[in-house]
Chain A
Amino acid sequence: MDDYVEVPMASSQRKKTSFNGDGLVVFLDVKDALEAEKVLQRAGYAVRLVAPPPQLRKGCDLALEVNLTEKPGIERALEQKDIAYVEIVPMKAGTAELLQVVKLTDFGRWVMVKAGNMKLSFDKETGVIVNSSGGGCPDIPYLHAELVDKKLHDVRRPKDIGFTLCAVMMDRALEECLEVWRGGDRS
C-alpha cells in the first residue's frame, strides 16, 4: 500500500508557454469556447483559454484571450464555422488563467496524473487508462465511462466530447499521460 511516489515538483510540473492578448471572446457555453479555440488555432491565431471577469461568470465559464487587433478576422472565422459567441471585448482586470500545472504520482505499475481537480491513471506497461477521479461537473462521470479501460491513444479527447471546465482539465491530464507514455518516462 505504501509503494507510491509523488514525483518531485521540478520534474513533475510543466508550465506551457503563455500568450498574452489584450482582447477577450466571451461565450455562453464552455463547449463553444473549446470549439472556437480549435478553429482559431487552425486559422493561425494566437489564443488562450481563460476565465472571464467575475461579472460575466455563471459558475462554469471559459473565454478566449485574443489579440484585439485581430478582431475582424476572428469574428469572420467564428462566423464561418457558425460558432456562437457573445462579444469580443477589450481585456479588463479580473480575468484568470487556467491552471497549467500538472503533478505525477508514481504507483509502481501505474501513474496518476493530476491536472487541477482532475486525475487520470494509466498502466505503464499497457497504456490502458485504469481510472479517472476528481472533478464535479456532469460530464465527468460520462468521460469516466468513455475513457476507462481503453488505451491512451484510442480514446476521444475530453475536450472534444466534454462540455465543462472539468473536461478541459481532464484533457490536460490526458495530454500529460500521453506525453509520459510516449516519452517512456516510467520511473
Chain B
Amino acid sequence: MDRYVEGNAAAFDELYRALSPKLFAYLLRLTRNRERAEDLLQITFAKLHRARTSYMAGAPLLPWVLAIARRAFYDERRAAKSRHEDLSNDGTLPEPRGDDGGIPVDLADALDRALDRLPEGYREAIQLTKITGLSLTEAAEVLGTTASAVKLRVHRGYNLLRKELDAYSRGS
C-alpha cells in the first residue's frame, strides 16, 4: 500500500492480487449476485484509489478495505430502496438463482447454499472470520460491533449451518 501511495503502478497489481479474491468473495456473499459484486468491487477500488493518501501507515489493510466495501454495499442498497426498485425481503435486488430449489451436487455446493440461507448478520460474521480469515476483533471493527457479538453470531450461524448440513448428509 505504501508503494502504491508513492505512485508505483506495479504495486497496485500486487495489491489487487492480494485483496481482490477476498473482497470479491465477501461482496459476492453479501449481494448473492455476480454482476453486482463486480460493480461493488470496482466502486470499492475506486474509493481506495481516491482515499489512498488518507490511509494511515500501520492500519490493518484488509479490514480497512472490507469496511469500505461494506459501506459501498449498504449505500447502494439504500439508493436502490430510495429508487423504489423491487427488493426482496432482506433488501437485496431480486436475483434469479439458477440453482434455486435444485439438489446440491456436492458438499461444497451444499455448504454454499446453506451459507446463503443464513440470516445476514450470521452470514457476514462467518464470512469475515472463517472464510476471509479476519480475527474476531478485526471482524468486529468491520461490522461496527464488539468481538463478543461477532463470536455469538458465528456460534449461532454454525448451529444453523450444522442443521442444514446434517439434513444434506441424511438426504444423500
Same complex: no
Binding site for B on A (CB under 8 A): none
